[in-house]
Amino acid sequence: MRNDGTGTVPATYTDYASDRTDPRFTDWLRERSGDAWDDATAHEFVRELHADTLSDVVFRRYLLQDYAFVETLVGVFGHAVGDAPTMAAKSRLVDFLGTVTSDEDDYFQRSFEALDVPVSRYGDPHLTEATAAFRDLLLRAAREGGYAETLAVLVPAEWVYLSWATDDDLAADGPDRFYLQEWIDLHAVPEFESFVGWLRTELDREGAAASERRQARLAELFCRTVDLEVAFFDAAYEGKRSRETLGGDR
pLDDT of the residue at 199:
98
- Tell me the whole-structure pTM to 2 decimals: 0.91
Average pLDDT over residues 95-119: 94
Give residue limits of the domains in the chain: 41-238
Q: Give the model confidence (pLDDT) of 25-42 as tens digits.
A: 999 999 999 999 999 999
* 41-238: CATH number: 1.20.910.10
Q: What is the pLDDT of residues 217-238, one digit of tens each?
A: 999 999 999 999 999 999 999 8
Residue 109 has pLDDT above 60, yes or no: yes
Structure confidence at residue 8 as a pLDDT band (50, 70, 90): confident
**Long-range contacts, stretch 55-61, CB < 8 angstroms, 24+ apart:** 55/240, 55/249, 56/115, 56/177, 57/239, 57/240, 57/249, 57/250, 58/236, 58/237, 58/240, 59/115, 59/179, 59/180, 59/236, 60/115, 60/117, 61/235, 61/236, 61/239, 61/240
Query: Which pLDDT score is estimated for 168?
Result: 86
Write b or e for each residue in 209-226: b if 16 or more Cβ atoms lie within 10 A of its Cβ, otherwise e. ebeeebbebbbebbbbbb
Q: Tell me the pLDDT of the chain averaged across its residues.
A: 91
